[in-house]
């Protein structure tokens, strides 16, 4: 399965789970996340490292989320991707 199709499935599942939180503001935040990770590829690389403990990844994601101003629901989606070892899909999920 291609990364694009997989990213779309995660985005669709998120929307199906929380359709009421998907607003213009949320879409703008997701765009910011996509830009952030395209400009800071090392952050995405670190979130993908299996050697880092999940708590460290969670802390790093929380700092990024606070910096961008993400909602807790989006943060949970990103943690789900990290737990599923799919952190590399975060930018693609944001664009769907």
pLDDT at 38: 86
**Confidence (pLDDT) at 21:** 63
pLDDT for 53 equals: 93
- In this prediction, the residues of the chain whose per-residue pLDDT falls under 70 are 1, 16-23, 96
Q: What integer pLDDT is reported at residue 26 of this predicted model?
A: 74
Alpha-carbon distance of 87 to 74, in angstroms, equals 13
- pLDDT in the model for residue 10: 74
Domain that holds residue 45: 3-94
pLDDT (0 to 100) of residue 55: 93
State the pTM of this model. 0.77
DSSP class of residue 52 equals S
Number of domains into which the chain is organized: 1
Among residues 88, 93, 92, 43, which one has the least CA distance to residue 73? 93
Give residue 25's pLDDT.
74
């Amino acid at each position: 399965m291609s990364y694009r199709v997989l990213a779309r499935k995660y985005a669709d599942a998120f929307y199906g789970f929380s359709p009421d939180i998907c607003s213009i503001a949320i879409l703008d935040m997701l765009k910011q996340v996509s830009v952030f990770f395209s400009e800071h590829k090392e952050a995405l690389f670190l979130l993908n490292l299996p050697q880092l403990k999940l708590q460290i990844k969670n802390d790093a994601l929380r700092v990024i989320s606070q910096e961008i101003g993400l909602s807790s629901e989006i943060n949970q989606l990103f943690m789900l991707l990290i737990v599923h070892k799919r952190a590399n899909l975060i930018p693609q999920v944001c664009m769907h």
